[in-house]
Structure 1
């Protein structure tokens, strides 16, 4: 990589969802240092402005903030409208927002909260921004998944966990759904010069799961914290997939530790991916698959 790090993303606009803390904030800082025009989303105005100040100080460039509760489809649609109005180009979309809840909650649309936020929100936002990404090509869509996709299953008979809910299963399912969506998107975007890749950031020391912790968060995470990655190290793979010049034409891949890896066998099930896309289209009321 001969290009100076500070110039690597010069002239590029990057949108990072969930950019007020943890991996998302560290990703925004890292890309700002590489010269990117960074935009972030968040729910809390105070945290959003605090993040903007840090990102601006790190990169010295333009930083924009969008307030949105991405568990709500109307909020995602409003967000997309504001982005299309305010960002003339979009070179990279990093679908980073997510969380994990031990008890079953419903989104404002009456959907299981983990599925709504971790999966349906990026599905809807990406579809709403696809034309801008195509117009900005070469462009990239980056999905922050997790290695728990390897134990995830898509339960088409109970996607919302109405009959048998487990916080861990809901999370694992959402992360497998992220990868299935990414691979299906990469197939649909063939020839467009818009790539779609997923990644595992590693086990990172953040506030993840703190709102409604399960047994793992309560008992094991405190013991594991010294072994976890810092948010900055956790963001390294997101930054790499978003910015590495050698990945400009690489699509439909899964990365961990900034290297392409094989994801779970289930993640390559094209029939399941196609079915999930169709179901998702209906759940977010898109007129037709893009």
Structure 2
């Protein structure tokens, strides 16, 4: 099946919150949803860039309903503030798309002292989801979509050193953070069983975006022939968010060569991502580190 943005159902009346939506995959996701009638909230670190992205969407789709919310996923205080603002503005949320992320960065920490990739890619989204979930539970058909990566296959949860204190390897840290995205999604879906809200994951394959700016140039050059543009890279996320045939706990990615490119379909994640004990342990650690519990 060839699923494209033209297959997105009418989104009129739906509220979609998208992290990292001012550029790359997040921007393409936001643009497509706004074009189908959704009220889209661009949750971004830089307000000026967010407003510029909202203006671009409005030019492409005159009358598009787009808002901007400041959100720094490296700060629990910012996450709490953003969630409070979103909760005050919307009684219900239909889509939360955990898209923002960093990739293979030099060693650094978040404002709360977490390793930057694990703190941003997983803990920040865990916290935001926990703070917004009650607004989704009351909204029939709502979905939490978390963007992972093929890099999760190289990931291992180092529970004895989640913050890479005893030695930092940017590839290993990235893989752990993307594996955490899937462990989180699958455990959240277990907790949502019987509810009207589902949790789904997606990955963009090999997609050319700013996310890869920390990769060595030789690696970027090697993968460039296999990459697809960001409009194609956003399709798995869009399908996960809108296709009525998608069910909770599914993982969507490109259906072409090595899942690097192609139209989106349901794909398989690594065996480690389905380790229930690791899912439960990560959940407990995340709650302890962030101080945020879920209403499920």
Is the CA contact 1:41–1:68 (under 8 Å) kept in the aligned structure 2?
yes
Q: Is the partner of 1:116 in helix, strand or coil?
A: helix
Match of 2:42 among 40, 43, 46: 40
Q: CA RMSD in A?
A: 1.7
Match runs of 1:168-183 below 5 Å: 168-183=171-186
Which deviations, in whole Å up to 9, do the C-alpha atoms of 1:65-120 show, x marking residues without a partner?
A: 00121110111111100110112221010000101244210110011111110000
Mapped pair 1:259 → 2:261: no
Within 1, Cα distance between the matches of 2:103 and 2:154?
15
Within 2, Cα distance between the matches of 1:124 and 1:105?
20
Using the size of structure 1 for normalisation, the TM-score is: 0.93
Q: Which residue of structure 1 aligns with residue 258 of structure 2? A: none
Match runs of 1:193-232 below 5 Å: 193-210=196-213, 213=214, 216-232=215-231
Residue 7 of structure 1 and its aligned partner are, at CA, apart by 5.7
Within 2, Cα distance between the matches of 1:186 and 1:197?
8
The answer for unaligned runs of 5 or more in structure 1 is: none
Structure-2 change in CA distance of 1:6 and 1:123 (3 Å): closer
Q: Which residue of structure 2 aligns with residue 23 of structure 1? A: 25
Match runs of 1:43-122 below 5 Å: 43-59=45-61, 60-122=63-125
Mapped pair 1:147 → 2:144: no
Residue 39 of structure 1 and its aligned partner are, at CA, apart by 0.7
Q: Is the partner of 1:246 in helix, strand or coil?
A: coil
Is the CA contact 1:17–1:95 (under 8 Å) kept in the aligned structure 2?
yes
Within 2, Cα distance between the matches of 1:288 and 1:9?
27
Is the CA contact 1:73–1:121 (under 8 Å) kept in the aligned structure 2?
yes
Using the size of structure 2 for normalisation, the TM-score is: 0.91
The answer for unaligned runs of 5 or more in structure 2 is: 255-263
Within 1, Cα distance between the matches of 2:9 and 2:281?
41
Within 2, Cα distance between the matches of 1:84 and 1:191?
24
Q: Which residue of structure 1 aligns with residue 274 of structure 2? A: 268
Residue 196 of structure 1 and its aligned partner are, at CA, apart by 0.4
Within 2, Cα distance between the matches of 1:218 and 1:281?
37
Is the CA contact 1:5–1:34 (under 8 Å) kept in the aligned structure 2?
no
Q: Is the partner of 2:64 in helix, strand or coil?
A: coil
Which deviations, in whole Å up to 9, do the C-alpha atoms of 1:177-201 show, x marking residues without a partner?
A: 0000000000000111111011111
Which deviations, in whole Å up to 9, do the C-alpha atoms of 1:249-268 show, x marking residues without a partner?
A: x1011111221112100011
Which deviations, in whole Å up to 9, do the C-alpha atoms of 1:40-88 show, x marking residues without a partner?
A: 1111222111110122233332101001211101111111001101122
Within 2, Cα distance between the matches of 1:220 and 1:113?
22
Within 2, Cα distance between the matches of 1:92 and 1:173?
25
Within 1, Cα distance between the matches of 2:198 and 2:60?
27
More displaced, 252-261 or 123-132?
A: 252-261
Mapped pair 1:279 → 2:285: yes
Match of 1:158 among 161, 172, 175: 161
Residue 288 of structure 1 and its aligned partner are, at CA, apart by 6.8
Q: Which residue of structure 2 aligns with residue 10 of structure 1? A: 12
Match of 2:137 among 131, 134, 138: 134
